[in-house]
Amino acid sequence: MRRTIAAAVLAGVIAGAIAIGAAAGADRDAQASNEPSGTPTATPDPTPSEPARPSPDVTAPPVLVPSFDKSARSIDDPNSIWLVVNKLRPLNPADYAPADLVTVPVAHTWDPLMRQEASDAIVTMFAAATSEAGLSLASNSAYRSYTTQVELYAGDDNLTARPGYSEHQTGLTMDIGATSGVCSLATCFTDTAEGVWLRDNAWRFGYLLRYPADKTAVTGYDFEPWHFRYIGVELSTEMHNTGFTTLEEFFGLPAAPAYP
Ligand SMILES: [Zn+2]
């Protein structure tokens, strides 16, 4: 996992360097500056009337700066790891249940189920929290079925999602705490070492702090420093690099402050 992330980051760095290099080269040509350059293309052109040509590219393909494809996966299909669920976007069908739920083999207060891919990423992330920072994380809640959500929902939309509208029903979400239980499912979790580590590092493992403190008007939920949603490393890295903190804003969706 870490090697994959490192490779992806390296690829991004290389792509960026290539793009910068290409732009700098074009700038030099346009200004005909006398900046020192290590490339022969910067030497005075003896035949200026000839149209500028790219360097020989018989073997080198054109430089393509990779752009993120926001339509690569569905944001509507409940089986998609990019699914966006909020108070305007219920699961469809409302009683959707993932087909690949597994028991997540981590410390927990409530037997955690998640989809296989999300579970694997949790295991890797929890191990990294321990090896990198000496922290012990635990699951407080993961998959919740439609039926469970019916039982949990007490009619208060500010506290609990309505059945069919909960991210926990996707099998991609976990409420994470410290094994010590300190500040579990409480706002003060954000100030614990575990909360800080998760906030800063979850993206590396494909997870998103889904309900940030400054985005309640967008997400429709109060700050939940414990609630993490699996979206895959590709998307989490793109959001991290571009500074987006909500799925609604990244995908250009309407804010969902309340049920319709
Ligand atoms: Zn949650």
The per-residue pLDDT for range 82-91, each reduced to its tens digit, is: 999 999 999 9
The per-residue pLDDT for range 133-191, each reduced to its tens digit, is: 999 999 999 999 999 999 988 887 867 899 999 999 999 999 999 999 999 999 999 99
Task: Report residue 13 as tokens.
Answer: 């760095």
Please answer whether residues 97 and 83 qualify as being in contact, where contact means their C-beta atoms are separated by less than 8 angstroms.
Answer: no
d(CA 37, CA 22): 13
Please answer whether residues 165 and 88 qualify as being in contact, where contact means their C-beta atoms are separated by less than 8 angstroms.
Answer: no
Indicate the fold that domain 101-250 takes in CATH: Muramoyl-pentapeptide Carboxypeptidase; domain 2 (3.30.1380)
pLDDT at 206: 98
Report how far ligand 1's centroid is from the alpha carbon of 1 (Å): 25
**Alpha carbon 63 to chain centroid distance?**
27
Report how far ligand 1's centroid is from the alpha carbon of 206 (Å): 16
pLDDT at 41: 44
Could you tell me which residues are beta bridge partners of residue 176?
139
Q: Residue 209 carries which side chain, given as an amino acid letter?
A: L
Break the chain into its structural domains and give their ranges. Answer: 1-67, 101-250
d(CA 157, CA 258): 8
Q: Residue 61 carries which side chain, given as an amino acid letter?
A: P
Report how far ligand 1's centroid is from the alpha carbon of 94 (Å): 18
Report how far ligand 1's centroid is from the alpha carbon of 228 (Å): 7
Please answer whether residues 223 and 168 qualify as being in contact, where contact means their C-beta atoms are separated by less than 8 angstroms.
Answer: no
Rg (C-alpha) for the chain, rounded Å, is 23
d(CA 180, CA 51): 69
Report how far ligand 1's centroid is from the alpha carbon of 243 (Å): 22
Q: Residue 124 carries which side chain, given as an amino acid letter?
A: T
